[in-house]
Structure 1
Amino acid sequence: MILVIFAMSCKKDSNINNTDETANLTLVKTITNGTHNINLYTENGKLQVGYNKIFLQLKNTDGSLIDNAQVSWRPLMHMMSMQHACPYSTIGKVAGKTALYEGYLVFQMAGNANEYWELNFDYTIGNTAYSANTKIEVTEAAKRNLVSFVGTDNVRYIIAMVAPKNPKVATNDMQAMIFKMQDMLTFPIMDGYTLKIDPRMPGMGNHGSPNNVHLTQSGADKTYYGKLSLTMTGYWKINLQLANAIGTIVKGEEVSGTNESSSIYFEVEF
């Protein structure tokens, strides 16, 4: 259902070049409420389980771009027996762009024939408020890029891999985000943790790699950063251990001669 709070607004003319603003992006979906269109873009044109960087443009019905909107969103998963949200960011302007906005959504599960994700928008242009919503298709990722679990501290965590998106034989920059499930609608970022990594190749004797750096938090966006060493192409399992601020492991096990894998891990294959 599409809902418009106020039906009329003053249009803002724009001569912004739409192609330049979204040149390296692929349209996922256009949402309309009869007054404006909201275009959703990603780099690959998909929404998938895990971390999704999403870009938005708002347009008047005549096609002119809107560059003065204040936008927020609320994702909601409609399941057979319950509803829940997922971790998500605020929405802001892309640096150096005039009418392109950005944010992220971290989906814990894919939709299916009976269960689906809904994305709700609230936005203002000048002093006029609007809303729009739509069903969105969320598919499974090719490899595991998200883990959700209850730790030994009885907290439910969600850890999403942000990078590398295109791994290579090298020491790759690795990024992840760590959230907790406060309730069905609230997923705050967790501060001060350490995400320990141990990449292994199960199909090659479970060998590891040198010069990995565990992920720690840095920067205003509260992302976790580290280094992931991949010494050859193929399938890698990135074994994880999550340590809290005092160094206690709340989930995950060390890889050893008697334990080939942690219970929590990411996957990459290239």
Structure 2
Amino acid sequence: MATGKDWTQAEIDTIVADYMTMLTLEICGQPYNKAAHNRTLQAKLPQRSRSAIEFKHQNISAVLRDIDQPWIPGYKPMGNHQTALALHIVDWLEQHGELQLHIAQHADQAPATPSKIDWQSFITPAPKPPSAQETPAPYTTKRPTLAVDYSARQARNTALGLAGEQLVLGYEQQRLIHAGQESLAAKIEHIAKTQGDGAGFDILSFNPDSSERFIEVKTTTLAAATPFYLSRNELLFSKAHASQYHLYRVFDLNKKPRAFVRSGALDQSCRLEAVAWRGW
């Protein structure tokens, strides 16, 4: 099999179209079988193995990540991809407005948090941020003229943000109660509600020794590695209170909510990219 060679345009057309079919089903909450799709692609792409197709799916996820679009959970973004693939995905999205409509509806929808949460498995290991050593995206000079910036749109979904904050409040209360600190659990404050969004963090919690924990919550219904937005105020507050600052990234909210934690100043614990500037 010619798995080591660049994919032809015909092969790219085939795998991108199939990926977008699965992505549409994912966004619409409809079931599909990734393994079955892979087998179908192997029949259509006889020069490509199952693992080569999987890797190309991860390349597609990386392109979607870089242009602030959702991707299929389970296909972890893998950079250093073929230029022709990236440019084709940009063109495909610009030509298929129906997927953009589904993406917009998904970003704006009210969350459907499961009623029962397994607190013992709620916190998971943090994924590695995208490597700064990845080859620069070849399509940065050709950003798609898409109607939907998914990450920004989800960030404005106040119901989604509140649902994530409520989950983290519940987890923090359980954590302190488990540590025998019921009185501290009762003192946890939902700062985003009591003081508003300008405090630089969302939740005031505590360590078992009564020291304070400043918690910022970012929530998505998609994968753990989905990018998030932060404000200048949040960044500055995290730097000023680095030893007490914790980012809780809640993900997969509608199916099996979990979170990972990054502690310390945001510019040290995360890979940050400037996406807006202020001028005067």
What TM-score results when the alignment is normalised by the length of structure 2? 0.27
Structure with the higher fraction of residues in helix conformation:
2
Structure with the higher fraction of residues in strand conformation:
1
What TM-score results when the alignment is normalised by the length of structure 1? 0.28
